[in-house]
Amino acid sequence: MAHQSTVNPAPIVTPGALNSAVSSPRTTAEARALYLKLFSGEMFKGFQNNAIARDLVMKRTLKNGRSLQFIYTGRTTAEYHVPGQSIMGNDAGAPPVAEKTITIDDLLISSAFLYELDETLAHYDLRSEISRKIGYALAEKYDRLIFRAVTRGARAKNPVMKSGAEEPGGTQIQVGGGTDANDAYSATALVDAFYDAAAALDEKGISTEGRVGVLNPRQYYKLIQQVGENGLINRDEQGTARQRGNGIVEIAGIKIYKSMNIPFLSNYGTKYTPSSGNDDTVDTNVADPGNTGDFVGAGIEDAENTDSGINNDYGQTSDFANSCGLIFQREAAGVVEAVGPSVQVTSGDISVVYQGDVILGRLACGADYLNPAAAVELFAGVSTKPAQFGTVQTAANNAGYQ
């Protein structure tokens, strides 16, 4: 009789089990409850959110190294030449130079074990479906880290800080007024904030090319209802084109996207009935629609406590208590990839031994802000600007930072 190892068997995907039946061991009826003689329905897909941040910031590929250096060059001066005087450069030693380094975080993975018999019995394309969900998991994490890096940049000073030649830093703009967090959902207040942001970016010398705004879905839908009224352009776009959230609508030349991965009042994407929302005269309260599952409205995790593989500073939960949107130009942040998003599948002897395959999605990247002047954070619920991010913990404190 062939010997079968019983050492710590890994949890496996059992697509035939109804609600992942928990009896141990599962009976044949439980394990194959969803396998049908004929396909009579459709697969109900969970929440799917494609990555958008990758194309909105600076992306570089890293080879043969653990970090990538970005060089900042400040401004120089112009002066009149004095006849007979040697030209030896300006007295201030301009332009000043600084650097920024983005480090690669540890390998990010998402995986599942697919038992060969389950795949044989399944009446749908199980392998591609699991692969797709693995891709969604990586894309979600990817976007969240980049948007957190942009938020950090909006609160930072420029690395070029030479006396008399300091470059502009980030911008923070309050949505609405006072201490009502519900202002984050006010279309009028959001439009005003977009125009303020556009003016600030102009004043800080940021190119108009590549400017984008990212809001949560509720904010986006509030805005598109105001097309033609509050200064939003692309009024000719109607119907489904206007409602996809793919940069169709613009305010002051800023293309607007929607995402459930932006920091939003200490959550990702949305927060129902904000705790600081106190203006009952404004119809902007957002009630929980119910049955949202375990992933919608998820709180922002403390990176230094839960993700030991993180080597960049992405902030803590408390840092995003009042964040409610981002406006930035592509130079605001950078993402460095050592291993691009990819899928690996076992085969050969491994598949024979385990009678199945491990489907693995992987990604090795790191993100951080580059040019703070190109980043704008929208905030609500307080009248004072959120503070800069705290001091990063060291690797000696087991926080995973460098």
List, for residues 313-344, the tens digit of each pLDDT value.
Answer: 998 888 999 999 999 999 999 999 998 887 78
Residue 358 φ then ψ, to 5°: -95, 125
Burial (CB < 10 A; 0-12, 13-18, 19+), residue 380, is buried
Any idea where the domains of the chain sit in the sequence? 9-39, 54-76+95-397
95: preceding bond cis by omega (within 30 degrees): yes
* pTM score: 0.81
Closest-CA residue to 376 (of 216, 223, 173): 173
Closest-CA residue to 105 (of 133, 135, 159, 141): 141
DSSP string, 45-85: --------GGGTSEEEE--SSSEEEEEEE------PPPTT-
Q: What is the pLDDT of residue 392?
A: 47
Per-residue pLDDT tens over the stretch 242-281: 555 555 678 899 999 999 999 999 999 888 876 665 544 4
Residue 197, pLDDT above cutoff 90: yes
